[in-house]
Each structure stands twice: as structure tokens, then as C-alpha cells.
């Protein structure tokens, strides 16, 4: 799929601006703090309805405005689509797809697929397990609508169960405690479904990424999904027998919300032993593998958003990436357009200054 047009009104430092993109390479360049990442953030919003920089939608609205309106036009295999997002300071954001308002975020996810690479994405291999679960949850939600629905149910049950556990911690109540077993049934049912989805996704991702990683760096690469449970029965049994401990601690101790991914380069845990360059290669391999999987399963390549990463790659990795993104749509940001090594004949160059295209 590819994005043709992006219109921003009152978004971050953009008053009113319209971008036109080519289905190939687009380079947003300009000095620091001019609005390059803001434009990528806007595009990303159409993919999952949330920013990669903030949980607070209000922050997206220009300082001196009361609302922001974003509009995108993109092409998929079937047709031209439009999505509009309006965020007001005092209301829930409103989203329309092809002019029809949607009521649930689940209706948006998976329509417009992007993959983001940025220096912050190195958290995927360097950061806490939370960053890796987030990666899995977003990747799977984009590819499997059913996953997103189960995840929502799981989180709801988890929240209710945690509330009950917190209550029981301060005021013991035998009857209320009995209802925990009902939550255990639900939590283990949804939980094991999430674990199964994640496991099979990671197995496939491993197949794709180890090859790409080898091509990028010549090094061995491995990822494994790490879960405490193999079956629903095992998960439920653990919950049933841990109730006292959980009440003492005040929250749910077991389940896929605490799972992780193990990632190894050259047989060593990357989180503990990885060099800066090894982290970059791993994240690049994972993201490119994810893009290939989306292509294989959905018949469409996602739009690649590369924020500030070219300057961080050595010439071998940069050349590999440039080769890999040929014939795909990419939107790249950088301070100096020359660093990408493409002329204006090969790429669509967009110069940004102070929230304006100049
Ligand atoms: N809600 C907002 N309203 C107005 N301006 C904002 C808002 N949020 C951020 N900005 C401004 O946007 C600018 C940053 O934009 P952005 O992050 O896109 O920069 P950039 O071009 O990617 O720069 P760099 O090269 O440093 O990464 C800052 O000047 C910031 O003050
Ligand atoms: Mg930036």
C-alpha cells in the first residue's frame, strides 16, 4: 500500500500543510526541531490510532489551537482510501474511514499499515520486556483482528481481577474471594489464546529475521517467545494455587502480560551483551522481517517510516537497507538530504522548515 496525500491542520507545529508522496522514496529533510518527526507521527497515527511519542492526544494539538485535524489518502490493492482524525481538547478523538465514523479502535487497526524505525525503537532489544510485548501486540493486532479483540478482553479481565485482589488485600471477604476462580477461568482462556498467537508469530518472525540479519551483519540471530505456560490448564492451575500470594502482593503475578522475548546474537543474550551496532542490526532485521510477513499474509507491503536512522548506520548496513527498500514506499527523515545518497531524480525531496514545506 502507499500513501498519496497527508493534510495536517493545527497539528503540532503545522498550521496547515499538505504533503504529496511518491510510491517510492520520499525524503523529509530540514534542520532540527522543524517538524520532520511530527509528520511521521501523523502518518503513524492512522495505523493504530495512537502516537509513538505520547499517550496524551492533547499534546498533538498545536499550542494555540483547540483542535487538530489530520487527513490521509492512501492506495491499497483494492481502492483509494481516506482516513480523517479529529482531536479536540475536551473530547474523545473522532475517526472516519472513507467518510464513515468508526466507534471502536479495532475498526481502524490493520487498515493502513506502517512500520517505524527510529533510534527509540532500539528499546525493542535494549529495553524492558514491556517494549517487546508492545511490539508483539501491535504487530499481531495489525495482522490479526481477532488478536486485538482477545487482547482487549484479556486486559479487561486482568484489570477486574487486579481490582478484586487489591480489595481483598485490605478487606478479606470469603465470598468475593470465590469469584476470583471465575476470573481465573476467563484469564487463562484468553491468556492461552494470546500466548499461542504470539508463539506462532515469533516462530515465523524468527524464520524471516534470521536470514535478513545474516545478510545485514553476517552474524547468527535467534528469537524465542518466553512464556511460563504451555496450556490453559497449567495457567489456570497456577492462578488457582497462587491466590494467597497474589493477595499479599496486590496484583496478578502470572500470565502473558509478564511474558517476554529472548533475543540472541551469536548465541549471546543481546540485552546483556549486545553492542550498539548489534542492537541496530537486530531491530532492523526484526522490522524488515515484520514488513515481509505483512506482505506475505496480507498481499501488501506496509509503508516504511525511517526517522533519523540513516546517519546511524554504517555504509554496509545503509547500502543493504537502500537495496531492501527499492520498489517500496518509504518516508525517510534526515537533516541533510545528501546523506541518503539519492538525487532528486530518484527520490521525492521535501524540505521542511518551521512546520512548513518550503
Ligand atoms: N503541540 C505542539 N504545538 C506546537 N508546536 C509543537 C507541538 N509539539 C511539538 N511542537 C514543536 O515541534 C518541533 C519539533 O518537531 P519535530 O520533533 O518534528 O522536529 P524534527 O524536525 O524531527 O527535529 P529533529 O531533527 O531534532 O529530530 C519543536 O519545535 C516543538 O516545539
Ligand atoms: Mg526528529
The number of the ligand nearest the C-alpha atom of 118 reads: 2
* 240 CA distance to ligand 1 middle (Å): 50
Do 70 and 191 belong together in one domain? Answer: no
Domain identity same for 128 and 241? yes
Return the pLDDT at 164.
95
Contact between residue 6 and residue 18 where contact means Cβ atoms under 8 Å apart: yes
Q: Are residues 169 and 242 in the same domain?
A: yes
Determine which residue's CA is closest to atom 25 belonging to ligand 1.
32
Cα–Cα distance, 121 to 76 (Å, whole number): 26
Single out the residue in 256, 278, 298 at which a domain terminates: 298
Instruction: Find the domain containing 132 and state its range.
Output: 121-298
* Tens digits of residue pLDDT in 55-108: 999 999 999 999 999 999 999 999 999 999 999 998 899 999 999 999 999 999
Q: Of all protein residues, whose CA lies closest to atom 28 belonging to ligand 1? A: 33
pLDDT tens track for 228-247:
999 999 999 999 999 999 99
Distance 350 CA to ligand 1 centre (A): 16
Residue 132 sits in the same domain as residue 186: yes
Query: Residues near 246 by Cβ (< 8 Å), separated by ≥ 6?
Result: 165, 252, 253
d(CA 32, CA 184): 51
Q: What is the pLDDT of residues 165-224, one digit of tens each?
A: 999 999 989 888 999 999 999 999 999 999 999 999 999 999 999 999 999 999 999 999
* CB of 14 shorter than 6 A to ligand 1: no
Structural domain count of the chain: 2
pTM (2 d.p.): 0.95
Give the Cα separation of 1 and 300 in Å (integer). 6
Ligand 2 centroid – CA 118 distance (Å): 9
Task: Verify that 76 and 188 share a domain, yes or no.
Answer: no
Cβ of 234 closer than 6 Å to ligand 1, yes or no, is no
Phi, psi for 326 (deg, rounded to 5) = -60, 145
Q: Is 38 in the pocket of ligand 1 (CB under 6 A)?
A: yes
Both 230 and 321 in one domain: the answer is no
Q: Pick the closest to residue 96 from 46, 59, 43 (CA basis).
A: 46
To the nearest 10 degrees (0 to 180), the angle between helices 36-48 and 129-143 is 60
| CATH number, residue 171 | 1.20.1050.90
Clarify whether residues 178 and 81 are in a common domain. no
In this structure, the answer to whether residues 211 and 332 fall within a common structural domain is no
Amino acid at each position: 500500500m502507499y500513501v498519496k496525500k497527508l493534510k495536517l491542520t493545527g497539528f503540532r507545529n503545522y498550521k496547515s500543510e499538505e504533503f504529496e508522496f511518491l510510491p517510492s522514496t520520499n525524503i523529509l529533510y530540514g534542520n532540527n526541531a522543524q517538524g520532520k518527526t511530527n509528520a511521521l507521527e501523523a502518518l503513524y497515527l492512522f495505523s493504530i490510532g495512537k502516537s509513538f511519542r505520547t499517550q496524551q492526544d492533547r499534546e498533538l494539538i498545536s499550542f494555540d489551537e483547540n483542535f487538530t485535524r489530520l487527513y490521509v489518502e492512501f492506495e491499497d490493492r483494492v481502492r483509494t482510501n481516506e482516513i480523517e482524525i479529529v482531536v479536540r481538547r475536551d473530547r474523545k478523538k473522532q475517526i472516519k474511514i472513507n467518510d464513515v465514523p468508526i466507534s471502536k479502535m479495532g475498526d481502524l487497526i490493520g487498515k493502513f499499515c506502517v512500520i517505524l524505525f527510529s533510534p527509540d525503537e532500539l528499546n525493542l532489544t535494549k529495553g524492558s520486556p514491556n517494549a517487546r510485548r508492545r511490539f508483539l501486540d501491535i504487530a499481531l493486532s495489525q495482522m490479526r483482528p481477532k488478536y486485538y479483540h482477545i487482547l482487549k478482553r484479556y486486559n479487561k479481565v486482568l484489570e477486574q481481577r487486579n481490582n478484586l485482589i487489591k480489595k481483598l488485600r485490605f478487606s478479606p471477604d470469603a465470598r468475593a474471594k470465590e469469584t476470583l476462580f471465575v476470573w481465573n477461568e476467563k484469564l487463562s482462556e484468553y491468556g492461552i489464546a494470546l500466548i499461542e498467537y504470539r508463539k506462532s508469530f515469533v516462530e515465523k518472525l524468527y524464520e524471516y529475521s534470521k536470514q535478513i540479519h545474516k545478510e545485514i551483519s553476517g552474524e547468527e540471530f535467534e528469537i524465542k517467545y518466553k512464556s511460563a505456560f504451555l496450556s490453559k490448564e497449567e495457567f489456570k492451575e497456577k492462578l488457582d494455587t497462587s491466590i494467597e500470594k497474589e493477595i499479599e502482593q496486590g496484583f496478578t503475578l502470572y500470565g502473558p502480560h509478564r511474558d517476554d522475548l529472548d533475543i540472541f546474537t551469536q548465541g549471546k543474550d543481546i540485552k546483556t551483551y549486545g553492542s550498539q551496532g548489534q542492537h541496530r542490526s537486530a531491530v532492523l532485521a526484526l522490522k524488515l522481517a515484520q514488513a515481509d510477513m505483512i506482505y506475505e499474509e496480507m498481499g501488501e507491503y506496509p509503508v516504511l517510516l525511517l526517522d533519523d536512522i540513516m546517519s546511524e548506520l554504517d555504509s554496509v548496513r545503509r547500502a543493504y537497507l537502500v537495496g531492501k527498500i527499492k520498489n517500496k514506499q518509504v518516508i525517510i527523515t534526515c537533516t541533510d538530504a545528501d546523506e541518503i545518497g539519492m538525487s532528486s531524480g530518484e527520490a521525492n525531496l521535501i524540505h521542511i522548515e518551521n512546520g512548513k514545506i518550503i
